[in-house]
Every structure is written in C-alpha cells, then in structure tokens.
Amino acid sequence: MRRSVARNVSLSAVVAAVVTVGAAAPSPSSPAPPAAPTPKSPVAVGYGGAVSSVDADASAAGIEVLRKGGNAVDAAVATAAALGVTEPYSAGLGGGGYFVTYNARKHTVETIDGRETAPRRADASLFLENGKPIAFADAVTSGLSVGTPGTPATWDAALDAWGSKSLRDVLKPAVRLARDGFVVDSTFRSQTESNEERFADFPATSKLFLPGGRLPVVGSVFKNPDLARTYELVGRKGVDELYRGALADDIVRTVRTPPVDPKADRVVRPGDLTVKDLRSYRVLRQAPTEVRYRGLDVYGMAPSSSGGTSVGEALNILESTDLSKLSEAQYLHRYIEASRIAFADRGRWVGDPAFEDVPTRQLLSQRFADSRECLIKDDAVLTSPLAPGDPRHPADCRTGGPAALTTYEGENTTHLTTADKWGNVVAYTLTIEQTGGSGITVPGRGFLLNNELTDFSFAPASPAVHDPNLPGPGKRPRSSISPTIVLEHGRPVLALGSPGGATIITTVLQSLIGTVDRGMPLVDAIAAPRASQRNAARTEIEPGLWNSPVRARLEALGHAFTQNPEIGAATGVQRLPDGRWLAAAEKERRGGGSAMVVRPVGNS
C-alpha cells in the first residue's frame, strides 16, 4: 500500500508592504532628474486582499481596485491591463493566457482558456517551405506566428462571470499609467536592447519603443498615449471593438501586410489571419485539473495547456515519498525524475482537445502515476529522452514508442495572483510568447502582436509517433502555463504561477513542494534556486545550485547539468490561519517582484 504523508502548508513570517499607486511623470515644462521607480517588496502581509505581480505599478493598480470595493477578479484584470503598459514585451491586448479562479461563494475553482488560436486556413504545413521547417527566428518575427488574441475576451468573460466592476472601471488605472507614464528600469531597457535590431525594422514599433532611434533611459518616464486611447476605446465600446470593429481591421491588416521599414532587409512573412478569425474567437470555460496531494486539493489548467496535467502527474508520482525527510540531494533527485517522466508523457499525449484525443483524466490518475513512479531509482538516473507511458493502459515500469521531445516555448510571459476580503482568489498567467512577441506593433494602437503560434511543433518529432501539437485550423497551440490554486477543506490556502515557457511547469512544481513538503515560507520557496528537467539529457539549474555542493552529489548519481542564469519569475498568495493574506513575489529574478496588500499588518 502506498503511504501518503500529510503536511500543513507552511506559512511565511512577517513583512510589511509598501503600497504606492502609479508613478508621477515629470513636468513637461522643464527637464527633470531621473525618476525613482515605484518601490517593490517581495512579500506583504495584511487584510483586505492581496496582489502579487512582477511590477509595482501593476500590483498597485490591482490594490487600487480592491480598495474601491472590487473583488479579486476585478483586481486581476486591472493588474493585467497595467502589465500591458509596464511589461509590454510579456503581455498585452495582442496575446492570450489562462485564468484560474476560486469562487468563495460557491467554493469552486473555475477556469478560462484564453489561448490564442491559429487562423482557420492554417494546417500542419503552416511553418513549412518546400517541405522543410523555416528557421525559428524567421517564424517568430512574422505574421505567420500571430494567433487570434485571447486576452481581451478573457477579461470580458472573467468580469461577466465573476467580476463586480465594469471593464471601463477596471481599465482606468492602466489608462492613467499609459497616459502619464511609468519609470523605466534596467529590465525594461535590457529587454528593449535585446530586441533593438528587429524593433527598428517596424516603424510603428520603433516609434513607440525606440523614440528618436534611441533606447529608453533608465529613470526616464515612458508613456504610451496610443495604448491609453486603445484602452479607453475598449472600455467604452467593449472588447467587440477588437474582434469586430475598426481595431479588428487594424490587427488583420497588420498581420496580413506587416508594416516593415522599406530600408530593412529583413524578410517578414505575412500571416493569414482574417476578420472572420477574430469574429469567431471564443474563450473556453472549462473544468480545472484536480489532484489530491498531502491532503490538499491542487487545481490547475486543463488542456490546451499542459500545465495542470504535468504538475498534477508529477505530484502524484511524488505522493508516495516523504520529501520532508530527504536530504537536499535526494529531494532534488526525486523532483527532477518526476519532472522528466511528466514531460515524457506530456509530449506524447497533450494537445488541443478540440482536435486531439487527450486522456486528461487518465494522465491525472494515481494508478498511472504509480506505474511511472516505479521507474525512479534512488541510485541511478533515467535516460532521456524517456519514452512515454500509456495512461489508458497503465503497466508498471513500462514505456513504449519513440520519445516526444519538448518544443521550445518563449519565456517572457507574466503571472499575477490576487485575493480579496471575501476569500476569492485568482491565478492568471498571460503572454505574447517571445520577449517582444512578434516584434510587430499595430500602428496607432500601442500594443505588440503575439508570436504564439511558434508553440506548435513545426514538423513531427518522429514519423513513427503521432504529434498532438501540429498546427491546424482554429487550433490552440499547446502551452505550459500553470496557474495553480490549492484548497484545504474547500478553502484556499495557496495560489501561484510563473512565466518561463516550458520551465513554468517545473517552477510551479518546485515552488509547491518547497512550501508544502520542505516547510519553506512561500517567499523563500519562490526565491530558492531552481532546477528544470524537461525530458532532456541535461537538467537546467540556476547558479545557486550550480555553485552548490549538492550538484556534485547529484552528478554522482548520473545527473548532467547546464547552467541557466534565471528560471521563471513566480508570484503567489497565501491565506494565513488568522485570516490575513500573504502576498509573495521574486526577491531578485527579473529585477524582483511586487507583493502588496490592502491593509498591511505584521505579526505581533
């Protein structure tokens, strides 16, 4: 009989929050010294609700809405809209995402799949020319890679189902932020610099992000009046303006005839997005994934994302081992191997369920996890790429067929978590895929278009195995986005998520077990050095593990590593036993995150 080790979710210690709404722009009448960015704190404790994101101005937008009587869903949309201003290379109106929410009145977890979709004319040859895949970089910066945006429809659906404020009201902080400006930090400048060459090839993008042909200066104030007007338009007329109105026409024109500088020598392939694609787009309201772990109910995002199934399968694999009693090396070994197995199965079985027969229930069954857990040895490492198991017919320690390799996914997504005084919670991850998306700005509208369709497999990994992630008409590309909410006795105790492409799954998994099993405060579990194994010969690890003695102990077991300077950028919220909310974010990754609460109160 398998042994389940029940443990309580560990709760963080005291930290006060600094809550500042917006950054003031300098007077236009005279030069001003470099401004200071809105203060950040990686942890905050208090009452009235909480918001955690990568950006202080965005978190402040959510807090503003909570203070005005809005709920967690209202605050999530307000925070997301503000991130479209301050994190335009990670998220915005031109992208998509996945929204998971706990409804305190009904005691249920519900989700929205707001993933971008391929044009209706797309097929498996979308990224092939003369029968061969085009270069990945060529696909990224093109109209070919742009899927129908799902973010505006997600906001509208979330507010309609669970919100208490109008879209126009929750967009007001973001409108103000776009109009008045935010303070440029080193992360924004470095991300602009890494995209400078391709941004310069698109006049609308260059005008917005490289004004005067120069990079933004750290400490200066960056304004986006076009986006302010776009938000005002969408708030006034509704999101149909983006799917049926003049804004839809602008998006389609930009995709089908990318506005490239005539002097540029870049070949930018047009896309096949049509007005009909935008008009027919629908978000999907669907049941979350659910697994039981250490007496807790863990809810995640079902396919088209692979996040919920992969995190859930890995937790099921780890359930029989008391990770709290293992050494750091033993714990990391088990975690790495569980991740390897989950990714082997993800690659074979998970795609858009509207097109593929995805065995979601079987992937999340404890019986299947037990049949895969027995592959893990305490003194040896599994060989990668590992072949998948068959969740429909579990057989102990058996794998079969060719391995499905993990495709590349852009890492510059963003995640936010919110909670309110009524106990509602949101975990929401949104993206435009690559840092800077497609690099193509819709002229006069102030936002970049996604390159999300590059999440599809360009060609089958092997002719001998079915690939569930090939492009198709109206199909959603597989994602790794993993917004997660954890309940205990039907009440929320923890919610978290992360950006990071395929490393999202491992970041969420490691943060969860760090908190639940290893007894770490949430902010420390988020800050802990990460390892990411995605069914590859080598496991990526951050410098904190690379430079640690634990690496040698793992290598002695057979693990091989490559160094990754930064994996993920998680945020989370936690409900403390006395009713306070704890918000937690990164201490250093991506310049540190921003955790805020409505009424800060420490332990006394």
Residues 6+ apart with CB under 8 A from 500: 411, 413, 480, 507, 567, 568, 569
Q: Which region holds residue 117: left if phi is over 0, alpha if psi is between -120 and 50, else beta? A: beta
pLDDT band at residue 30, thresholds of 50, 70 and 90? very low
Share of the chain above pLDDT 90, in %: 89
Predicted confidence at residue 463, as pLDDT, reads 75
Sheet holding 561-563, edge to edge: 531-532, 539-541, 561-563
Predicted confidence at residue 287, as pLDDT, reads 97
Run of H or E residues at 250: helix 246-256
What does DSSP assign to residue 504?
H
Span 90-137, pLDDT tens digits: 999 999 999 999 999 999 999 999 999 999 999 999 999 999 999 999
Q: Are 142 and 458 in contact (CB under 8 A)?
A: no
Rounded-to-integer distance, Cα 548 and Cα 55, Å? 30
Kindly tell me if the per-residue pLDDT of 3 is higher than 70. no
Kindly tell me if the per-residue pLDDT of 291 is higher than 90. yes
Predicted confidence at residue 314, as pLDDT, reads 98
Kindly tell me if the per-residue pLDDT of 401 is higher than 70. no
- Residue in this structure with the two tokens 């229930």, named with its chain if needed: 361
Quick one: 43-285+408-600 is in which CATH superfamily? Gamma-glutamyltranspeptidase, small (S) subunit (3.60.20.40)
Q: Are 73 and 162 in contact (CB under 8 A)?
A: yes
From the candidates 148, 230, 413, 441, which is the catalytic residue?
413
Predicted confidence at residue 32, as pLDDT, reads 46
Predicted confidence at residue 460, as pLDDT, reads 85
**CA distance to 143, 248, 274, 313, 351, per residue, from 253 (Å):** 10, 9, 9, 43, 29
Rounded-to-integer distance, Cα 113 and Cα 120, Å? 18
Q: Are 324 and 303 in contact (CB under 8 A)?
A: no
Mean pLDDT value across residues 31-45: 76
Decide which of 268 and 604 is more confident. 268
Mean pLDDT value across residues 329-355: 97
**CA distance to 7, 13, 512, 523, 575, per residue, from 520 (Å):** 12, 10, 10, 8, 15
Rounded-to-integer distance, Cα 151 and Cα 92, Å? 7
For residue 385, cis peptide bond before it (omega within 30 degrees of 0): yes
Span 149-179, pLDDT tens digits: 999 999 999 999 999 999 999 999 999 999 9
Kindly tell me if the per-residue pLDDT of 580 is higher than 80. yes
Q: Which amino acid is present at 248?
A: A
Span 306-326, pLDDT tens digits: 999 999 999 999 999 999 999
Predicted confidence at residue 4, as pLDDT, reads 40
Share of the chain above pLDDT 70, in %: 91
Q: Are 498 and 569 in contact (CB under 8 A)?
A: yes
| H-state helical runs in 111-182 | 136-140, 151-162, 167-170, 172-180
Span 231-259, pLDDT tens digits: 999 999 999 999 999 999 999 999 999 99
Predicted confidence at residue 7, as pLDDT, reads 38
Domain ranges of the chain: 43-285+408-600
pLDDT band at residue 6, thresholds of 50, 70 and 90? very low
Minimum mean pLDDT range among 328-332, 460-464, 478-482, 566-570: 460-464
**Residue 257 catalytic?**
no
Rounded-to-integer distance, Cα 241 and Cα 469, Å? 31
Residues 6+ apart with CB under 8 A from 97: 80, 91, 114, 115, 150, 151, 154, 413, 428, 429, 430, 431, 481
Kindly tell me if the per-residue pLDDT of 221 is higher than 90. yes
Kindly tell me if the per-residue pLDDT of 353 is higher than 70. yes
Q: And the tokens for 64?
A: 């503003």
Q: Which amino acid is present at 12?
A: S
Closest CA to 34 of 212, 225, 206, 216: 216
Predicted confidence at residue 37, as pLDDT, reads 72
